[in-house]
Amino acid sequence: MARLTRLPANLNAFLDMIGYSEGTIHIPGSDDGYLTIVGSTRKNPILMSGYKDHPRRVIDLGHGLKSTAAGKYQILQRNYDAYKEHLGLSDFSPQSQDKIAIHLLYECKAIRPILAGQFAKAVHACRSRWASLPGSPHGQHTNEIDGLIAVYRSCGGEVVA
């Protein structure tokens, strides 16, 4: 669950769905995904040692793909650096990660559809930000929309038909 308090239920559920889709929330010892570094698996967790800063590690994922993604929402180092000052962040804590993810959702115009329960429209709007979402242009494994809707609903999100 997002660590920011008083978030609307649909936004909270959407954030948890992103963590699920990115594969971070089920990593052992990951603090609900917030300590996860890209490339982690249940059998081989790669975790940050704390929340003072983005881990700033480049992980070779094979096939010529390298990434600095970290945290529940797999935030790239360049995005953290760009938003740290803009959002007044002092660390890479769960609250800071939530703020960055929400800002990314705002930038891609996904907030209104999320709040309105327009799940598919929201996913479509932010698919360029998260490689695991259906329709992502990043050429990586993506999840099916029906499975993500089920996760979203199980996290308390409401879908309007």
Q: How would residue 140 be classed by pLDDT, with cut points 50, 70 and 90?
A: confident
In angstroms, the CA 52 to CA 50 distance is 6
- Residues noted as catalytic: 22
Smallest CA-to-CA distance from 19 within 71, 68, 73, 67 is with: 73
Mean pLDDT of the chain: 95
With a threshold of 0.85, does the pTM exceed it? yes
The CATH classification number of 9-154 equals 1.10.530.10
